[in-house]
Every structure is written in C-alpha cells, then in structure tokens.
Chains A and B, each alone.
Chain A
Amino acid sequence: MAAIYSLYIINKSGGLIFYKDYGSAGRMDTNDSLRVASLWHSMHAISQQLSPTVGCLGIELLEADTFDLHCFQSLTGGYLNPFIYLFIYKHTRYWFFLPSTGTKLFVVCEPGTQHMEGLLKVIYELYTDYVLKNPFYEMEMPIRCELFDINLSQAIQKDRVALLGR
C-alpha cells in the first residue's frame, strides 16, 4: 500500500508538467490526466471567486467519498494575491476578478490521511532543488529530471515507512 495514490504538478496556466501514479486502481491515461489537471486549475480559480470573504487562495483539501485531495500552491509565478479590479467603459462599470495562480502540487490519498501538508512541502522543496535549479529546465515545461524522480521516490518511500510504522 502506498502512502499516496498519485501526484500531480501543474504550472501557472493549468498545464500538467508532472504526473506520477503510485498504484491507484485503473490508472488514468495521458489525455485524461491532462484534462483532470486543467479542470482542477479552473476549479481552484472559481473557488476563489465564490469566497464569502476576501483573501481566498483556492481549495486546499477536497474530501471525496473514496479519497482526499490535498493541494499546495506555490507563492511564486502568476499573481500572488487574488484581487478584483474595476474599469469603466462608456459609463458602464465592469468588474473583473483575477484569481491567484501559482504552480500547484496536489496529491490524492486515502480519506483521513493526516500529514499531507508536510509531504507536499517536502515535494515542493525537491521541486525547487532539482527542477528549478536545473539549468537545462525550461520554466512551465514538463519535468524530465532524473534526480527529481530519484529523490521523489525516496521521499514517498520514507513517507510510506513512516505511515506503516505508526
């Protein structure tokens, strides 16, 4: 049993740049994973617009019947704070909502798994160390870094051991 079912990383425009499956039943094909990623990007933005108070930064945790989805949004890339702006054209007022969009990492895990924020932070650190600091990596492009893959599977493995040990 893996600690998590799958991991997705999406760039600031909603494109899937990394997807790894850790043993969910019925693995998704490439087209479906791309669709799911961009759908999540839009749902994340809409959830900010529907907030009853200011300063909403999007969905952090989605609790479905058979899984939990934890999402972490980096503070860099895209707009930092969501804001509403107004412009007036021919005496008509138009309001626009600009959601915050950064690089998003999200994991799918079993319902009620506890320490996922920590794991997401660890994965984000690996992303900054082995992907962003890689001179051959182009921003917003799919991640193909061997060192990232190796360290990621180690982190997931360590997490799994920690989970089983408890």
Chain B
Amino acid sequence: MQFFGGSDISPSPPAPTASGNNAHMMYVFNRNGVCLLYREWNRPLHTLNAQQDHKLMFGLLFSLKSLTAKMDPTSFENHEMCSLDKGNLGVPQLPGQGCSFHSFRTNTYKLSFMETPSGLKIILITHPKTGDLRESLKYIYNLYVEYVVKNPIYTPGAPIRCELFNTSLDQYVRSIS
C-alpha cells in the first residue's frame, strides 16, 4: 500500500489522455460503507434507486477485494499466515492489507478504484477505452483533502456538500479521460 505525499495540490494535474468528457459517474465511500458523495455526469441507464445502487456498488467492491486477496498468486499461504494475510472470503480486510485491485473493465465502462489508508474509497467510472487513472484518483483525493477535510464546517463522516469541491471536481473530471 502506497501512502500519498503532502496534502498540497501538485501545480499541474496529470496530463489528460484524450479530449472530451468520458466520465460517467463517481462515488466516494467512507470506511463504513456510507456514500459520502455521488456525482453523475452521463448516465442514461438506472436499474435501481440511488440508495440501492450505492449499496450494490459498495458490496461489489468489498467482495472483489476479498476475491483478489484470496486469489493473489504471488503470496504463500502458510497456516499461521492464513488468517492474517489472505483471509477467508467475506472477512473484512483493513485498507492496505492483502492484494487489492485498481481497476476493472467491461465492454461498456471502466471502473477505477482507490482506497486511502484511512479507508476512504474513491470510485470513478469512465469510458472503457480510458487509460490508467491511478494518478487522477490521487489528484481527486488531494482535492478532497484541500476542499473537504480542510473545510471547518464539514463534519467528518457526513455527506459532502462543498460547493468548491464539486466545481473543482467537475472541472478536473472534464479534463481527464
């Protein structure tokens, strides 16, 4: 698990890979699975109501993470390490523990995922042809630190309602992918 450097926003955001707005939506979850932020830019299909959709998304990420931790082909599973490292399927894992994942791709979308050491999960859903968005997610995390965490009126764990964060996020997301 890599930890992220200083909280100051780097002067130049990562270079965009192509032009145009390819982002579909974005979710931010805290470590308890509460959806702190949901932004939608381009989503023609809704199969569920908002609350069910957030629950399903968090469940998908949770299960995929325990799946990747279990499948990890590079770490040995000895008996005393078994419960510690690879875990059993479905048992929650701490952020940074076990093998995690950073993206998956289907024929209609690509989901990029980042988990911070504090358990905050940032999920960005974009066009399937977008490249690696790990740097972009780190930049969005920096925006979160700058505009949400440093906001004196914001109570940690509450849904994010910061105008400045939303506008800078929209602006940045339009520039990527």
A residues in contact (CB < 8 Å) with B = 5-6, 24-26, 28, 32, 35-36, 39-40, 42-43, 46-67, 69, 84, 95, 97, 108
Contact = CB atoms under 8 A, between A and B. Distances in A.
A26 B106 contact: no
The CB with the most chain B CB atoms within 10 A, among A26, A57, A84, is that of: A26
Nearest to B112: A63
B: interface residue count bin: 35 or more
Given A25-B76, A36-B67, A40-B67, A54 B44 contact: yes
Contacts of B111: 47
A69 B109 contact: no
B100 A65 contact: yes
23 contacts: A25-B75, A25-B76, A26-B77, A26-B78, A28-B70, A28-B71, A32-B70, A36-B71, A42-B63, A47-B60, A47-B111, A51-B109, A52-B42, A53-B24, A57-B106, A58-B106, A60-B105, A61-B104, A62-B64, A62-B103, A63-B102, A63-B103, A108-B71
Q: 3 closest Cβ contacts across the A-B interface?
A: A24-B73, A26-B77, A52-B24
B106 A47 contact: yes
B151 to A, nearest CB: 29
A59 B109 CA distance: 9
B104 A59 contact: yes
Contact of A43 (B24, B60, B78, B125): B60
B105 A61 contact: yes
A155 B47 CA distance: 41
By secondary structure, the A interface counts as mixed
Contacts of A36: 67, 70-71, 89
B139 to A, nearest CB: 19
Given A55-B108, A56-B107, A62-B104, A43 B47 contact: no
Contacts of A60: 105-107
Interface string B71-112: 111111110000000100100000000011111111111010
Contacts of A48: 106
Contact of B99 (A46, A56, A57, A64): A64
